[in-house]
């Protein structure tokens, strides 16, 4: 990538299958992808790494009225957070900057979130 660091994307899901599908969305030549299986792990990864953006599985949209996105924003307020939400009817929780309704929508929407940083 012409001397620039690859964007580092954090994918978060409890499901190993969904996590693998999320990771496979990003071409290895263009992105470095890290993963976490809980919101707590995601916060730890964000503390110890420079993360360009986070993609959360829909299971983390809200837990006890608080979203994982809100927690991540407390740690890094300007971190772009995308929620993979299969249903168009779902409520978008606070802290989410973009919603993708399928894996094929993740990359185009993420490019839009990262564009101001480039």
Query: Which tokens in the block code for residue 99?
Result: 């919603």
pTM of the complete model? 0.87
pLDDT 10s digits, 23-50: 999 999 999 999 999 988 999 999 999 9
CATH of domain 8-112: 3.40.50.2300
Residue 50 CB coordination number (10 Å): 9
pLDDT 10s digits, 43-78: 999 999 999 999 998 877 666 556 788 889 988 999
Indicate whether 117 pLDDT > 60. no
Number of helices (H) and strands (E) in the chain: give both, helices first: 4, 5
Query: Can you tell me whether residue 9 is helix, strand or coil?
Result: strand
- Domain ranges, ordered by start, for the chain: 8-112
Q: Determine the Cα–Cα distance for residues 33 and 51; give it in Å rounded to an integer.
A: 9
CB-CB contact of 85 with 109 (8 Å) = no
Query: Which tokens in the block code for residue 117?
Result: 């940083």
Which residue has tokens 């094929």? 104
Query: Which tokens in the block code for residue 69?
Result: 């996105």
pLDDT 10s digits, 74-100: 889 999 999 988 766 666 778 889 989
pLDDT for 62: 65
């Amino acid at each position: 990538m012409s001397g620039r660091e690859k964007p580092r994307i954090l994918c978060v899901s409890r499901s190993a299958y969904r996590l693998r599908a999320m990771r496979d969305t990003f071409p290895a030549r263009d992105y470095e992808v890290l993963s976490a299986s809980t919101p707590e792990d995601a916060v730890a990864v964000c503390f110890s790494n420079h993360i360009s953006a986070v993609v959360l599985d829909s299971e983390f949209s809200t837990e006890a009225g608080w979203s994982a996105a809100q927690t991540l924003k407390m740690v890094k307020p300007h971190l772009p957070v995308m929620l993979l939400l299969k249903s168009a009817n779902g409520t978008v929780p606070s802290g989410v900057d973009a919603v993708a309704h399928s894996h094929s929508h993740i990359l185009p929407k993420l490019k839009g979130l990262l564009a101001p940083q480039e």
